[in-house]
C-alpha cells in the first residue's frame, strides 16, 4: 500500500475527483508540453454530467490557463467513470495527448503509465495483514504506522490538522447563500449558536459536532480550501469529531495526530482494495469511508484495542453499504452537507457498539470493504455521481416540473 499521506490532500472544493484531481492532472499535463500554444480538455462520464456543478471546468482552467474545456455526455465506452482527454497544440497541430483518470480523493492515473507521485510504503495490502503484523510485533496501530512511514509523516499530519481546523473556524463564522443557484443557506453558525432551553449534554454534543461538520462541508461547497478525508464531498466527518475531542474534551493534539494517522490507514485500506470515488461506487465509497475512518480514529483516541478499532470501522462502513450518490443539480450540497453531519453521529455510535461487542463480531473489515466495492460495481450508473437518479431526479420532478429529472446543470 502507498503512504497514508496520499489520503489527505489540501485543495479547493467542492469535489476531490472533480476539482482536486482534474486540477492536478491539468498542471501535470501543462508541464509536459511547455511549448504548446493551446490546450483542449474533454471530460467524459461523471465529469461531463456533474462537472459544471462540481466546478471541473474552473479547476482545469486554473491548472491550465486558457484551456478549452468540452463536456462529452454521449460517450459510453469509458475505461473509468472519471475520464479526461488532454490535448496539446502548437500552431494548430496536435503535439501530444493523454487520457487521465481522476480515481478519487484527488488522485489521478495516466493511461498506460504505471508510475505516479505516491510512494509504496506498506508491504501489507489489507487490514488482516496489518493486524497480523501488529500482533507479531506487539504494536498498536499508531506505532505500526510510524514504523512504516517516512519520519516526515508527523509534520505532514500537523499541516493537515491545521488546515482541517482552519476550515472549521472559517465555516463557523461564514454566513449567506452557497453558490450554484440552488439557494442553499449556510447553517453551521446557526447550528453552533442555537442552544435550546434545557438541552441535554448529549444533544449539545451532537449539535456542536454537526455544526463543525456543516462548517467544513459548507466551506467545501463554497469552493474554499479543505482537506480530502478521504474526499472533498465527505471532508466534514473526520475533522468534526476530532475537533470536538480536542477542544471540548481536552485530548492533546499529539493524540489527535495519532488518531488522524489511524483514520488515514483505514482510508488507505479502502482505496487500495475498493474505491473512495462516488463516481465509481456511489456515496458509500465517500461518506461510508469517511464514517469508517472517523470511527477508527475515535476508537484509537479512546485507547481501544486493535480489534475494537477494526470493529468500529467495520460497523461504520457496513451501515453505509448501498448509499447512493445523487447530488441535486450536480452540486456538492444536497444531500452531501447534511450527510457529513449524520455520518459523524454514526461514527460515534459505531465506536460505542464496538467497545462492548467486538468479541461477538462475524464480519471483518476486509470483508465489508470487499462488499462495498462489489455493491458499488453492481450499482446503476444513475446512482454514481451522474445526478440522473435519486434525490437529484426527484428534486427536479417535484420542484422544477421535470419528471425525467434530466436537467443536470
Q: How far is the CB of 80 from ligand SF4 (least distance, A)?
A: 16
CB within 8 A of 338, min separation 6: which ones? 214
Q: Which is nearer to ligand SF4, 98 or 220 (CB)?
A: 220
Q: Let me know: does 262 contact 142? Beta carbons within 8 Å.
A: yes
Shortest spacing between CB 276 and ligand SF4, in angstroms: 10
Whether residue 208 contacts residue 348, with contact meaning beta carbons closer than 8 Å, is answered with no
- Least separation in angstroms between CB 325 and ligand SF4: 3
Contact status: 280 vs ligand SF4 (CB under 6 A): no
Residues 6+ positions from 167 with CB-CB distance below 8 Å: 215, 216, 219, 220, 224, 225, 226, 227, 235, 239
Quote the least distance from Cβ 285 to ligand SF4, whole Å: 7
Put residue 183 in one of left, alpha, beta given phi > 0 → left and psi -120 to 50 → alpha. Answer: left
Closer residue to ligand SF4 (CB): 261 or 343 = 343
- Among positions 42, 234, 308, 350, the unique one binding ligand SF4 when judged by CB under 6 A: 234
Determine the Cα–Cα distance for residues 342 and 360; give it in Å rounded to an integer. Answer: 26
Q: Which of 6, 104, 335, 389 binds ligand SF4 (CB under 6 A)?
A: 335
276 binds ligand SF4 (CB under 6 A): no
Q: Is 6 in the site for ligand SF4 (CB under 6 A)?
A: no
Binding piece for ligand SF4, criterion CB under 6 A, among 101-109, 132-140, 335-343, 362-370: 335-343
Q: Does 336 bind ligand SF4 (CB under 6 A)?
A: yes
Stretch that binds ligand SF4, among 114-122, 169-177, 248-256, 330-338 (CB under 6 A): 330-338
Which residues ranging from 283 to 302 are in contact with ligand SF4 (CB under 6 A)?
A: 283, 286-287
Q: Which of 304, 305, 298 has the alpha carbon at shortest distance from 256?
A: 298
Distance of alpha carbon 114 from alpha carbon 118, whole angstroms: 11
Nearest approach, Cβ of 345 to ligand SF4 (angstroms)? 16
Task: Check binding of 385 to ligand SF4 (CB under 6 A).
Answer: yes
Minimum CB–partner distance for residue 141 and ligand SF4 (Å): 26
Q: Interface residues with ligand SF4 (CB under 6 A)?
A: 233-234, 278, 283, 286-287, 325, 327, 332, 335-336, 339, 385
Amino acid at each position: 500500500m502507498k503512504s497514508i499521506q496520499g489520503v489527505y490532500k489540501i485543495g479547493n472544493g467542492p469535489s476531490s475527483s472533480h476539482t482536486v484531481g482534474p486540477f492536478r492532472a491539468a498542471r501535470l499535463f501543462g508541464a509536459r508540453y511547455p511549448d504548446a500554444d493551446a490546450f483542449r480538455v474533454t471530460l467524459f462520464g461523471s465529469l461531463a454530467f456533474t462537472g459544471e456543478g462540481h466546478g471541473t471546468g474552473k479547476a482545469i482552467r486554473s491548472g491550465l490557463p486558457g484551456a478549452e474545456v468540452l463536456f462529452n455526455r454521449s460517450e459510453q465506452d469509458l475505461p473509468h467513470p472519471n475520464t479526461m482527454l488532454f490535448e496539446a497544440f502548437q500552431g494548430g497541430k496536435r503535439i501530444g495527448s493523454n487520457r487521465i483518470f481522476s480515481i478519487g480523493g484527488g488522485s489521478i492515473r495516466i493511461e498506460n503509465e504505471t508510475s505516479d507521485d505516491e510512494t509504496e510504503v506498506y508491504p501489507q495490502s489489507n487490514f488482516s495483514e496489518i493486524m497480523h503484523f501488529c500482533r507479531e510485533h506487539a504494536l498498536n496501530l499508531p506505532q505500526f504506522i510510524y514504523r512504516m512511514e517516512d519520519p516526515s509523516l508527523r509534520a505532514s499530519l500537523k499541516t493537515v490538522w491545521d488546515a482541517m481546523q482552519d476550515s472549521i473556524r472559517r465555516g463557523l463564522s461564514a454566513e449567506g447563500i452557497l453558490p450554484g443557484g440552488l439557494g442553499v443557506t449556510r447553517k453551521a453558525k446557526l447550528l453552533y449558536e442555537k442552544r435550546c432551553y434545557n438541552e441535554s449534554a448529549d444533544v449539545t454534543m451532537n449539535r456542536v459536532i454537526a455544526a463543525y461538520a456543516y462548517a467544513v462541508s459548507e466551506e467545501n461547497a463554497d469552493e474554499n480550501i479543505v482537506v480530502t478525508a478521504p474526499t472533498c464531498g465527505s471532508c466534514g466527518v473526520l475533522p468534526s469529531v476530532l475537533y470536538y475531542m480536542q477542544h471540548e474534551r481536552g485530548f492533546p493534539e499529539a493524540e489527535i495526530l495519532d488518531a488522524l494517522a489511524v483514520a488515514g490507514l483505514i482510508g488507505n485500506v479502502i482505496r487500495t482494495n475498493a474505491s473512495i470515488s462516488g463516481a465509481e461506487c456511489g456515496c458509500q465509497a465517500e461518506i461510508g469511508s469517511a464514517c469508517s475512518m472517523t470511527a477508527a480514529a475515535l476508537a484509537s483516541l479512546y485507547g481501544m484495542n486493535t480489534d475494537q478499532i477494526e470493529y468500529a470501522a467495520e460497523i461504520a462502513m457496513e451501515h453505509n453499504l448501498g448509499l447512493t450518490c445523487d447530488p441535486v443539480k450536480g452540486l456538492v450540497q444536497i444531500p452531501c452537507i447534511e450527510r457529513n453531519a449524520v455520518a459523524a453521529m454514526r461514527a460515534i455510535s459505531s465506536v460505542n457498539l464496538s467497545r462492548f461487542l467486538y468479541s461477538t463480531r462475524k464480519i471483518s473489515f476486509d470483508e465489508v470493504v470487499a462488499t462495498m466495492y462489489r455493491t458499488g460495481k453492481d450499482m446503476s450508473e444513475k446512482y454514481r455521481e451522474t445526478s440522473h437518479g435519486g434525490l437529484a431526479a426527484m428534486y427536479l420532478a417535484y420542484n422544477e416540473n421535470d419528471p425525467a429529472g434530466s436537467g443536470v446543470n
